[in-house]
Chains A and B, each alone.
Chain A
Amino acid sequence: MDIATLQAYGFFILTAILVAVLYGYIYHLYSDQKKGTRDYEKYSNLVLHDEISDQPVEKISKNDDIKQEA
């Protein structure tokens, strides 16, 4: 197989993966919101309540790490 053929296969596979990732991601976002696992829309309040005296939407705490979040 010459380089051009490989490029063509590579391009096709990459495109297919990207399409799958995109739709999977959209599904993930909207199903999480619908099932109530996660509320993305509340983050709009980051803008609407942004005075320094306002309560943070999600407080940062020192012993938080990624694992507990996920």
Chain B
Amino acid sequence: MFHWLEKNPFFFAVAVFVVIAFAGLVEILPNFAQASRPIVGAKPYSTLELTGRLVYIKNNCNGCHSQLIRPFKSETDRYGSYSKSGEYAYDRPFLWGSKRTGPDLMRVGNYRTTDWHENHMRDPEEVVPGSIMPKYPWLFKNIADVDTAYAEQLTIKQLFAVPYNKPLPTADGSTQTVALADSLDGAHASALEEAKVVVADMKDQAVKDAVAAGKIPEIVALIAYLNRLK
């Protein structure tokens, strides 16, 4: 910079690093604690919901669908109330997306049902003529990975004090609790209970049979996750 700097690689590198690291410190750090506080009514994901979230990520749904409603009337009219920071407090990773090839899904649980999702995943064009979303037949065959979701739950409970098994405040003044099993078998059992609720509204016989036999196809987990987005 001042003539000698370009001749001294070490000081040059230090100078570059200081200049580029500066912005990160000023921009990112001050807000860190504040932004991670959950809003009233926010709750962690149950085992099956988190399993479904992993299916969502595995199939890169966030490549085409956002989960961020901006504070414009045209967006709140279309998708519901705009997003608040505290609503994302349990989202690891965040799934805001960067492109809306399809509509926003932040509150899709408010206006779509289990059987709508079932039909739509099997053949989007049949449900929404003109849709360019591909069919997802493998979701009906692949068995969801509950183990990994449970491992993730244990990890975030231990490291980030995510409040499983604790009463959490809701908007109407009552409390709610998200249970976390204390063993892998327990986690499978509770996920299966959740799956039975979802599958009661589904038509696909093979999926029903699988759940009856104690297996959870990916589609069931995914729908549990989508229904929970509110």
Q: What residues make up the interface of A, taking CB atoms closer than 8 Å to B?
A: 25, 28, 32, 38, 58, 66, 69-70
**Please, what's the 1-or-0 string for B111-139, where 1 marks a CB less than 8 Å from any CB in chain A?**
00000000000000000000000000000
Q: Does B8 lie within 8 Å of A70, measured CB to CB?
A: no
Interface of B is mostly: loop
CB neighbours (8 Å) of A58 from chain B are 7
Q: What would 10 more interface pairs be, CB under 8 Å, given A32-B3, A58-B7, A69-B4?
A: A25-B1, A28-B2, A38-B3, A66-B4, A66-B8, A69-B3, A69-B7, A70-B2, A70-B3, A70-B4
Q: What residues make up the interface of B, taking CB atoms closer than 8 Å to A?
A: 1-4, 7-8
Q: Could you list 13 examples of A-B contacts with CB < 8 Å? A: A25-B1, A28-B2, A32-B3, A38-B3, A58-B7, A66-B4, A66-B8, A69-B3, A69-B4, A69-B7, A70-B2, A70-B3, A70-B4
Q: How far is the CA of A69 from the CA of B3 in the complex (A)?
A: 9
CB neighbours (8 Å) of A28 from chain B are 2
CB neighbours (8 Å) of B3 from chain A are 32, 38, 69-70
| 6 tightest Cβ-Cβ pairs between the two chains A and B | A69-B4, A70-B4, A66-B4, A38-B3, A66-B8, A69-B7
CB neighbours (8 Å) of B1 from chain A are 25
